[in-house]
Amino acid sequence: MKTKKSWKTASLIVVLLLLSAAALAGCGTKSNEANGEAEGGTNESGGGTEKKEPVKVTQVTNWFAQPEHGGNYAALEKGYYKDAGLDMTIQSGGPGVSATQLVASGKAEFGMGSSDEVLLAREQGLPLVAIFGTFQKSPQALLYHADQPIEGMEDLNGRKVYVGSGSPFWEYFKKAYKLDDVTQVKYSGDLSLFLNDKTAVTQSYITSEPYVVKQKGIETKYLLNADFGFSPYGNLIYTTESFLKEHPEVVKAFVEATAKGWEDFKLNWRDIIPALSKANPDNPVDVMEYGAEALQPLVYEGDAAEHGVGYMSTERWEEMNKTLLDLGLLKASQDVSKAFTTEFLPTK
């Protein structure tokens, strides 16, 4: 039988052990709390994971939803933006919507355009910076009836051409190919006049118009702008110098999620067509499907095959800068090192 003295001794030992354990637990809690603050992770004291609020950002596209925006919608639909800590809104562009102005004014964080647009905007005092070059080759082209004897830009002389007034690519072609005998008509998006005139030529995107016209029983061919000396990065994504400087982690998260979306869209574009159709119900599904396939070489080949989707090179930017200078569209040479960056692109 245990004596009274032995019970007291045992009790004292238990108390000391409990106090020691409590002290150690307290030290562990402080250490874990410190780690939780530093890493934004879970501490072991039972405090759980401290979740950061997603960052709200908006990207303005350059037109109504279409396959040319497929990777961005893939990142949204598959949750890549959400996983990156972003509460993403994709705002459609269209007539009267200026992505450059919305981004420059801070009403949107990201916009979509082309490298010539970025350079021209910078000269106008809008400090845009390209961060993701979606199209290695722009889908812009000049469309003509298949039975016409047209093999190059010089064959446009003597014809009516529907084209946007002041378009940099058209100014380039007029000068480079001496198109002095062309009747230039302002492009309105209405293809009926082109369809009814076999000798006419119209600006187009090869990801849509050739298919739309074929459904009306007319075969066409095209001259891809990029193959004739005017080759900007198409549908590139930009932000502003100030946003880039103040929120580099947000830019990095956005670029990486967008790249993941475009890699996903390459093989799984059919999964994203419903989302594009929901955002733009006026664009038929079959046209969307045609565009998703037609854009594949423009996005994933060229430098992207080696460096990854979204890649841009200094040489290409310098070439566009020189072209705009030669045309007189830029009054002064722009510092292309400030006009774009690839530092946030994932390495392949």
Give yes or no: residues 163 and 273 share one domain. Answer: no
Question: Does residue 104 fall inside a structural domain?
Answer: yes
Residue 110 lies in domain:
56-137+232-339
> Taking the model in full, what pTM does it have?
0.84
- pLDDT tens digits, the chain, 348 residues: what are they? 443 333 333 333 333 333 343 333 343 333 333 333 333 444 434 445 567 899 999 999 999 999 999 999 999 999 999 999 999 999 999 999 999 999 999 999 999 999 999 999 999 999 999 999 999 999 999 999 999 999 999 999 999 999 998 899 999 999 999 999 999 999 998 999 999 999 999 999 999 999 999 999 999 999 999 999 999 999 999 999 999 999 999 999 999 999 999 999 999 999 999 999 999 999 999 999 999 999 999 999 999 999 999 999 999 999 999 999 999 999 999 999 999 999 999 987
* CATH label of the domain that carries residue 194: 3.40.190.10
Rounded CA separation 41/255 (Å): 24
Q: From 178, 206, 228, give the residue that closes a domain.
A: 228
Enumerate long-range contacts of 269-277, CB under 8 Å, 24 or more apart.
269/67, 269/70, 269/74, 269/293, 271/74, 271/77, 271/78, 272/70, 272/73, 272/74, 272/77, 273/67, 275/65, 275/73, 275/76, 275/77, 276/65, 276/66, 276/67, 276/69, 276/70, 276/73
Q: From 170, 196, 228, give the residue that closes a domain.
A: 228
> What end-to-end distance do the CA atoms of the chain give, in Å?
76
Nearest to 168 by CA among 119, 217, 130: 119
Give yes or no: residues 150 and 267 share one domain. Answer: no
> Which residues, in sequence order, are bridge partners of residue 113?
236
- Sequence-distant (≥ 6) Cβ neighbours of residue 104 within 8 angstroms: 121, 126, 127, 128, 240
Contact predicate 223/141, CB 8 Å = yes
Give yes or no: residues 104 and 144 share one domain. Answer: no
Question: Does residue 321 fall inside a structural domain?
Answer: yes
Question: Does residue 36 fall inside a structural domain?
Answer: no
Nearest to 130 by CA among 346, 347, 336, 348: 336
Block residue for tokens 């990854």: 308
